Chain A
Amino acid sequence: MTGPSLLQRASHVIKDQTDPHTITMNIGRLIRVVPRSRNIEAILIFFVLGLYAFELAQVQLSTIAKLTPEFFMLWAPIAVLSVVFHVVLRFKASEADSLLLPIALALNTLGIAEIYRLDIAKTIAGDTDLFGFKQVIWASVALAIGFLVVWLVPTHLFLRRYVYISMIIGVALLLSPMLPFVGLKINGAQLWISVAGLTFQPGELAKIALTVFFAGYLVTHRDSLAAVGRKVLGIKLPQARDLGPILMIWLASLAILVLQRDLGTSLLYFGLFLVMIYVATGRAIYVVVGLAVFGSGAFLAGRILDYVGGRFDAWLNPFSDLHYKADVNSSYQLVQGLFGMAHGGIWGTGLGGGFPQMVPVAESDFIISSLGEELGLVGLFAILGLYLLLVSRGLRIAFNHTDDFSKLLAIGLSFVIALQTFIVVGGVTRVVPLTGLTTPFLAAGGSSLLANWIIVALLLRISDSLKAESPKVKALA
């Protein structure tokens, strides 16, 4: 049989119009195909690298009006390593999600371009504290570790064997900034450690360890958390002993708030736990109760502790002289960021066209306001869109997986990126109080890049393991 004739086509067009049943059938059945093709990934990576070159060229042309060799020094390492990452995926995880790598790469390179742009402004002003090349080095290291994780770790399921070890590592990392000598306090928040001149934010790696712990713990205990318990006032309350760990996490997050003086970090870990317990048990009561106790705890802390209260005040009344010119908990940075974004407006000043350097620490905490000024609301929405797509891919991987541990792990890893982005962007745009967390993939800082690329590598690993589900129902590529 060769191609159908025109008559044949005409025949079913007519059929379409006469029989409503056939019309619906003719639309064609939809089939869920997970786009796992590595070729899509390759095309998107080249797109991102082109976009990156465009960004760098735009920055150089609009600030120093010429292209310098720095362009290639910034571009080439990332280009080489992302291609290597792609090749590793082809050989070691050919069924992995094809969108995670390009999206994360797009965010990371946009961050580097903006940091480099701030560097140029600083150099003109005579400042020598530059971050652009450091960020390229860190991004290269993070990409290398990312593909090494994909390469060397055959399956993410080995993590299930180290559930409690993960907990210990996670808690130790969280508490390490409070150690004497190595602990470091920046802007009032004690979130860093400093060893031999290198500063590191251990909380970033702790989020991976704690996600592994939560996933492993909840897989074992979900049944008793979901089903057992007495009914009080029509609500089934969990058993006291099941609640124990939840109370422990709550206390730990409050301890972070009090001891490390950072609302964002404690909100991040507590929120992560709430979401994972909700996904594991399907009971909204945990979320309601959890938010209530966290809210009241944070409120009390704000009332009792000066520095937390001061942050709240600076958030609520940033434009008052009292806070704008204050020495401690000043709202100067926040307000400068807001002015910057207002200057950018909807369309932005273009990369290299604004004055993002006027915001203190614009390259890390306030990279969002820098990008908001130079790319405008249009660009900021594009960035948030990239985060949304990244997180939705993670949730999709979780949704497709049949194994509960993998499901919870993927949910946790992608949600932690979502929540962190919300807390940071919310802090810069004055939706929530400003915190010391970093913007995933964008902000200058090695620990953050490292942790987030490991998260991407783990998600790639998890998505690749879907192919091993055969012969269970799965979409054919």
Chain B
Amino acid sequence: MSDLALFLVRAAFVVVLWIFIFTIISVVRSDLFGQKIVRKVVKANSPQVLSTPILPPSAGQPATPSVGFAQPESKLNKNAKPAIVPERLLITAGDKAGYQLKLQNRDITIGRAETSDLVIDDEFASTNHARLFKANGVWMVEDLKSTNGTYLDGEKVTAAVALTLGSEVRIGKTAFELQG
């Protein structure tokens, strides 16, 4: 082989070797920093956002999850059905933000206890803080006499309350919601 050809082969090898490494790094990256997730919850008030595109939302209005979160190209969005059954619990704030839990037909206990299904390492959480359960096909949240309380969309949960998709449950610093 000519020197030039050999040089090209050698250079190509170094390039391919590094491409391999960066391929792996890109996989690792999606593990460390996560993939973008898309909200597919369309709340009843979302048309308001659409109808007033230019106006900035008023300061007092809570930043509600709107259709704006959905990436327009998303497949998920296209398949969105009007009535979505909650399938997973997504943690939106706190140490475990980004984690999700698959909903099964069984209760989910929440608290600091290691035996909880959802362990919350938070000073404001009690050992057995709250419980999610399914009654008549509807997921309910119930506070288990916790010290600092459980909040559903900012209101303290006193008795078992039904959860709707996208409504935020807050325990201490941790917040989560149900998603379809």
Binding site for B on A (CB under 8 A): 1-4, 7-12, 14-15, 18-19, 21-22, 25-26, 28-35, 40, 44, 47-48, 51, 54-55, 58, 61-62, 65, 98-99, 102-103, 106, 347-348, 350-351, 353, 375-376, 378-379, 382, 385-386, 389, 392-393, 396, 470-476
A353 and B6 contacting across the interface, CB-CB below 8 Å: yes
Q: Which residue of chain B has its CB nearest to the CB of A385?
A: B21
| Residues of B with C-beta under 8 A to A10 | 53
B28 and A392 contacting across the interface, CB-CB below 8 Å: yes
Measured between C-beta atoms, what is the minimum distance from B117 to chain A in Å? 5
Q: SS class of chain B's interface: helix, strand, loop or mixed?
A: mixed
Additional pairs, 8, CB under 8 Å, beyond known A3-B73, A51-B20, A350-B7: A1-B77, A14-B54, A30-B97, A33-B30, A62-B1, A353-B6, A382-B17, A473-B100
B6 and A14 contacting across the interface, CB-CB below 8 Å: no
B53 and A11 contacting across the interface, CB-CB below 8 Å: yes
Q: Give the docked Cα–Cα distance between A48 and B15 (Å).
A: 14
A29 and B20 contacting across the interface, CB-CB below 8 Å: no
A-B contact count, CB below 8 Å?
173
B148 at the interface (CB under 8 A from A): no
A32 and B1 contacting across the interface, CB-CB below 8 Å: no
B35 and A102 contacting across the interface, CB-CB below 8 Å: no
B36 and A476 contacting across the interface, CB-CB below 8 Å: no
Measured between C-beta atoms, what is the minimum distance from B41 to chain A in Å? 12
A58 and B9 contacting across the interface, CB-CB below 8 Å: yes
| Residues of A with C-beta under 8 A to B70 | 4
A47 CB contact (under 8 Å) in B1, B23, B50: B23
A8 and B50 contacting across the interface, CB-CB below 8 Å: yes
Given A22-B68, A51-B17, A350-B13, decide whether A474 and B99 contact each other with a Cβ distance below 8 A. yes
B63 and A22 contacting across the interface, CB-CB below 8 Å: yes
Given A21-B63, A351-B10, decide whether A102 and B96 contact each other with a Cβ distance below 8 A. no
B134 at the interface (CB under 8 A from A): no
A32 CB contact (under 8 Å) in B13, B73, B98: B98
Given A22-B63, A33-B30, A65-B1, decide whether A350 and B102 contact each other with a Cβ distance below 8 A. no
Given A3-B78, A471-B108, decide whether A29 and B97 contact each other with a Cβ distance below 8 A. yes
| Residues of A with C-beta under 8 A to B77 | 1, 3-4
Q: Give the docked Cα–Cα distance between A3 and B117 (Å).
A: 37
A31 and B100 contacting across the interface, CB-CB below 8 Å: yes
Given A44-B23, A475-B99, decide whether A30 and B118 contact each other with a Cβ distance below 8 A. no
B88 at the interface (CB under 8 A from A): yes
User: Counting chain A CB atoms within 10 Å of each CB, which of B21, B57, B80 scores highest?
Assistant: B21
Q: Which of B14-70 contact A (CB under 8 A)?
A: 14, 16-18, 20-21, 23-25, 27-28, 30-38, 42, 49-50, 53-54, 56-57, 63, 66-70
Q: Give the docked Cα–Cα distance between A445 and B9 (Å).
A: 29
B138 at the interface (CB under 8 A from A): no
Q: Top 9 closest A-B pairs, CB basis? A: A350-B10, A11-B53, A30-B34, A12-B68, A18-B56, A28-B36, A4-B72, A31-B98, A31-B37
